[in-house]
Amino acid sequence: MIHTRDFQALNLVKVMETQAQKASATIDFDKNGGVVAAIAVDHLSSRVLMVAYMNREAFDETVATGRACYFSRSRKKLWRKGEESGNFQIVHEIRLDCDADAIVLAVEQRGDAAACHEGYESCFFRKLDGGLWKVVDRRRVDPAKYGPGYGHQPKKSAG
Amino acid sequence: MIHTRDFQALNLVKVMETQAQKASATIDFDKNGGVVAAIAVDHLSSRVLMVAYMNREAFDETVATGRACYFSRSRKKLWRKGEESGNFQIVHEIRLDCDADAIVLAVEQRGDAAACHEGYESCFFRKLDGGLWKVVDRRRVDPAKYGPGYGHQPKKSAG
């Protein structure tokens, strides 16, 4: 027996899934090998927090759940942002560009308010200054707290 | 005979070129086939204006000239933003992400203050609303003013 509340919840999930499919039909995933660039910005300050990629499945999940889900090109699988660290992102708004091959998500960064796997609010914590990339932001959290296997390894060049 | 002023100017160009080369040496162009994502944001509001790509040459030129220069992946050549429309971008700040494969440019959008080839301030003029992408911004300029051959053709899906 299905209770009315369960039935309503199931209907809502179905509506969200249908909306996600309608929305993703417009996006040009083919142009860049099945993915589009997805830029997460802070929903209040508009600051760019990170750039990642989404395939259709990641986009549909993001719309259906209201939480940012990306596609990891290196690991070749869905990357539910925050599943290891708790630093998930509530999606307030989704925008699409003129060519339908890039997305901007206005997000509320939860957890330790650090979108970057190195513990910064934004992945863009280095600024060009006289030919050198200088770290100009402060870390919000030491990512060691999430365990030794957390995140992808930073490149040697990212110092 | 080289005048002192010319000599100083030549020296300045050399310094800027050297700085550009030092800066681009850190960037991981290999990861994505020779280009990195470059996000232009308004230097005052932080709003994302557009997403394009840069190869090393485009990056070096951007640093050396202080004007945004991208690499057109479809036309396979440097794309000096604004060269057709006058909508060029003065670069105030350049930031690099943790993985050294994405860049944020804080720019002052000149000309008609329209970064988008469809005449909008931002390429992200459509917002997801109930499964549909709705145009929520106003055009700043009719791009027809730049001539029939202006810009790349918008996709059919970008309506």
Please state whether beta strands A102-109 and A36-42 pair in parallel, antiparallel, or not at all (unpaired).
parallel
pLDDT in tens, B137-151: 999 999 999 988 787
In 3-state terms, what secondary structure has residue B38? strand
Task: Tell me how many residue pairs between chain A and chain B have CB atoms under 8 A apart.
Answer: 132
* DSSP for chain A, written as a single string: ---HHHHHHHHHHHHHHHHHHHHHHTS--GGGTT-EEEEEEETTT--EEEEEEE-HHHHHHHHHHSB-EEEETTTTEEEETTTTTS--EEEEEEEE-TTSSEEEEEEEE-TTS--STTS-SSS--EEEETTEEEE-S--SS-GGGG-TT-SPPPPTT--
Residues A28, A99 contacting (CB under 8 angstroms): yes
The answer to whether residues A23 and B132 touch, using CB atoms and an 8 Å cutoff, is: yes
Give residue A42's identity as a one-letter amino acid code: D
| For chain A, domain boundaries | 4-146
The average confidence (pLDDT) of chain B is 90
Q: What is the pLDDT of residue A106?
A: 98
The pTM assigned to this predicted structure is: 0.88
Closest partner residue to B94 among A20, A99, A128, by Cβ? A128
The pLDDT value given to residue A8: 76
Q: What's the Rg (C-alpha) of chain B?
A: 17
Structure token pair of residue B146: 């730049």
Q: Which residues have C-beta within 8 Å of that of residue A159, sequence separation ≥ 6? A: none
**A29 contacts in chain B (CB < 8 Å):** none
Q: Name A22's Cβ contacts closer than 8 Å, sequence gap at least 6.
A: B131, B132
Could you read off the pLDDT of B58-86 as tens digits, one per residue?
Answer: 999 999 999 999 999 999 999 999 998 99
CA-based nearest distance B1→chain A, Å = 31
Q: Is the ipTM of this complex over 0.90?
A: no
Tokens 């369960």 correspond to: A6
Residue B35 has pLDDT above 60, yes or no: yes
Test the A interface: residue of B14, B97, B117, B140 with most A CBs within 10 Å: B97
CA distance A1 to chain B (A): 31
**DSSP reduced 3-state for B20:** helix
In CATH, which superfamily holds the domain spanning B4-146? Phosphoribosyl-AMP cyclohydrolase (3.10.20.810)
Contact between chains at B154 and A95 (C-beta distance less than 8 A): no
Residues of B in contact with A56 (CB under 8 A): none
How close does chain A come to B58, measured CA to CA in Å?
16
Please state, in angstroms and as integers, the Cα–Cα distance from residue A43 to each residue in A22, A23, A69, A119, B142, following that order. Answer: 24, 21, 17, 19, 29
Angle B27-B32-B56 from CA coordinates, rounded to 5°: 40
Residue A6 has pLDDT above 90, yes or no: no
Q: What is the DSSP letter of B14?
A: H
